[in-house]
Structures are given as structure tokens and as C-alpha cells.
Amino acid sequence: MTGELSTQAWIGIDEETERLYQVALTVRGPLEVAALASAGGVSEDAARAAVERLRELGFLTSYGVLAPSTALRALHHRRVAERQTELAELETAAGVLDDLASGFVTAAPEVLAAHGIELVRGVEEVGRRASALISSARTELMVLNAPPYAQNALPPYDETPKGPPAAESETGLAVLRGVQVRNVMAPEGLDLPGRMASVSELADLGMGVRVRADVPTKLMIADRATAMLPPSAVADPLESALIIHDGLLANALVPLFEATWETALPLAAVRGNPDGSTDPVDPPSAEERALLTLLASGLKDEVIARQLDVHVHTARRRISALLAKLGASTRFQAGVQAGRRGWLE
């Protein structure tokens, strides 16, 4: 499914650097740029750039190449620390924005206009302006899709069409014309009847979708220039909204979106149930955790089978099932996905 976070994107490397890391694991003795370039079939400049990036990320140290399990655990710990800082900043930003937005509700229209802000009232007008904002996007559309959700009428900032295929919705058309659309949804939004199917269709078209348990507000930003959000935390988002053109306030909203996006899980991290509801991927059993550790250590199937005291065919079946559970196509990707979820602890 397109629009999801790739293994390379999460680590912060490109495909060639990942491949050279795999090559580096097989090089005996001190790792030299010339030896890596020769073994990897690339130029020394490319190998040097890869080595620098891998050292920066902690996959290479002065002592040599770290095993995937060790490197991924260390990277996971660093990312957790970064996310904790981002979460604190996110909570602070959300509180400040609520205070700012609430202050505009009682302001006179001329005062709002002077700040590049419009207060829109009424269900039909709010919906019309939300549709217009989506249609106006030319390069980028950022969406935070927070509760409450209406069952019979779609709330603003919602990309799910009422009847036509998702590709024919305003958001689907935006994706098809080349707009980079990223959408962070609360789990409740995916539980509505038919919602998961529509969101999955949009994701297949190219929309980035992530899920976060606590989305701070409804928000939509087009081309980092115009934003739409509820006027306060307690306001009905169907009844009123702020349209913001002011650069300073819009610049505060973009970091709010980015922090929420970075702390959300890709859509692949949840799975659809027959009744249309969603649950997080089940945590690993003790057997799966042991298998993950062996996989992350780079051991061959035969060695893994001996460690688990099973036949090699049984070990391979378990490996295949684990990769499917993580939505990974390679063992390295499985290690990354497990690291992101804290399963390598």
C-alpha cells in the first residue's frame, strides 16, 4: 500500500545505503571504504557517503559494524526520546492554539480580517469552505482528523466520500492531480461503517495515512498557506470553523501537524476486522519475541531452527508468519517494524 512509512524512511537511509549495510555485515576485519565499494559494486564516493550516514545513525562505530539487533534497539531508544520531546511540545502547542483560537471567536470581523482570519458559521458553509480548501491545494494537503465524528453527516476535514468511489472524492482527485496528501486519523474515525475501505482506497492511490490515539484537533492545511480548524476545543466543528491565512499562525499549525504525524503509526500498524473495526497489531508472544531476536541478529534459518529446537521448515513457516504479521517483505524490514513498536526490548 502506498503512502506508508517505508523501512528506509523510518531509519533515515536510502535503498543503496541499506544494501551497503547488508554488505558491510559480511566484510571480515576492519571496514574500509575501498573494500566496501568493491564488495558492494559502487564507487568509493558512494561507499564513503554510506559509511558516513551509517556512522551517524549508529550502525557503524569505531569498533566495527553493529549487528541489526543492537543497532535497531539503539536507534529505537533515540527515536523514543525524540518522540517524548515532540509529544511535550505538541501538548504545549495545542494548548496555545486553543487559547489563540478561542480569543478570535469574540473578535469583530474587521479585527479578524486584519489578522488574515475568517470565522465561518453554519454546517453548509463550513462544509463548502472545507471542500474549497481541498480543491485549492496544488502541492500539499495536511489533515488532522480528530473526533467527534458524525454518523449521518461527514464532518469537515474528512476525506471519505458519502457515495462515489474514493478516487472521485475531493481528496482522491487531489491525490490524482499530484497533491501530496497526509492524513492523521483517530482510531474512532476508522471504526465508522465503510470508513476503513474508503481510507484504504485513498491510501492505495497515494495518500499518506497514519493513526494516532490522541489527535489534538481537527485541522486542514493547504500548501502551507491556508489552514482550517475549529474555533475552540469545545466548539462543534460542524457548526463553525476558522479559516486562517495569516503566516505566523499558519507557521504554528504546520509544526503541530508535523509533530502529530511523526508520533502516529502507519495505517499498516492497524488491521481491519470483519465488522469494520480496527485493532492494533497484537504484541508478540514469547515465542515470536525470541524469533525476532534471532532474526535481528542475522542468523541463518538452520541456526535459528537449532536455537528454537524445531525443524528448519517449521522455523521458516514461523518466520513467514511473523513477517506477514508485521507487514514486512524482508527480515530487515521486520526488524525495523519490530523496533518501531518496541518489540526488541
- Whether 26 and 39 have beta carbons less than 8 Å apart is answered as yes
| pLDDT, mean of residues 7-24 | 75
Q: Nearest Cα to 9, choosing from 341, 333, 274, 338? A: 333
Strand blocks (E) in the chain: 60-61, 64-65, 117-121, 140-145, 180-185, 208-211, 219-222, 226-229, 240-244, 265-266, 270-272, 278-280
Backbone angles phi, psi at 7, to 5 degrees: -60, -50
> Considering the chain, what percentage of its residues have pLDDT values greater than 90?
10
pLDDT digits (tens, 9 = 90+) for 132-144: 999 999 999 999 9
> What's the pLDDT band for 177 if we cut at 50, 70, 90?
very high
More confident residue, 341 or 8: 341
In angstroms, the CA 268 to CA 203 distance is 10
Write down the mean pLDDT value for the chain.
75
The three grid cell numbers given for residue 274, joined into one nine-digit string:
470483519
**Identity of residue 79:** R
| pLDDT, mean of residues 305-325 | 86
- Note the pLDDT of residue 271: 44
In angstroms, the CA 268 to CA 276 distance is 15
Query: Which residue has 576492519 as its cell numbers?
Result: 30
pLDDT digits (tens, 9 = 90+) for 64-119: 787 777 777 777 777 766 766 666 666 666 665 555 555 555 554 544 555 567 88
Query: Which residue has 531476536 as its cell numbers?
Result: 293
DSSP string for 30-75: S--HHHHHHHHTS-HHHHHHHHHHHHHHTSEETTEEPPHHHHHHHH
More confident residue, 35 or 276: 35
**Identity of residue 106:** T
- Whether 301 and 312 have beta carbons less than 8 Å apart is answered as yes
Q: Nearest Cα to 183, choosing from 153, 150, 218? A: 218
Cα separations (Å) of 175 from 84, 169, 182, 260? 32, 10, 10, 21
pLDDT at position 38 over 90: no
Q: Nearest Cα to 1, choosing from 267, 220, 223, 224? A: 267
- Note the pLDDT of residue 8: 56
Cis peptide before 148 (omega within 30 of 0): yes
- Note the pLDDT of residue 99: 56
Assign residue 330 a region (left: φ > 0; alpha: ψ between -120 and 50; beta: otherwise). beta
In angstroms, the CA 67 to CA 71 distance is 6
Strands 180-185 and 208-211 turn out to be: parallel
- Which stretch of DSSP H or E encloses residue 192? none
In angstroms, the CA 61 to CA 71 distance is 10
- Note the pLDDT of residue 266: 76
Can you say whether the dihedral through the CA atoms of 323, 327, 328, 334 is positive or negative? Answer: negative
> What's the pLDDT band for 334 if we cut at 50, 70, 90?
confident
pLDDT digits (tens, 9 = 90+) for 214-256: 888 889 999 998 998 886 555 566 677 888 887 666 677 888 8
- Note the pLDDT of residue 329: 67
Query: Which residue has 504545549 as its cell numbers?
Result: 92
More confident residue, 40 or 180: 180
Q: Residue 45: which residues within 8 A CB-CB, separation 6 or more? A: none
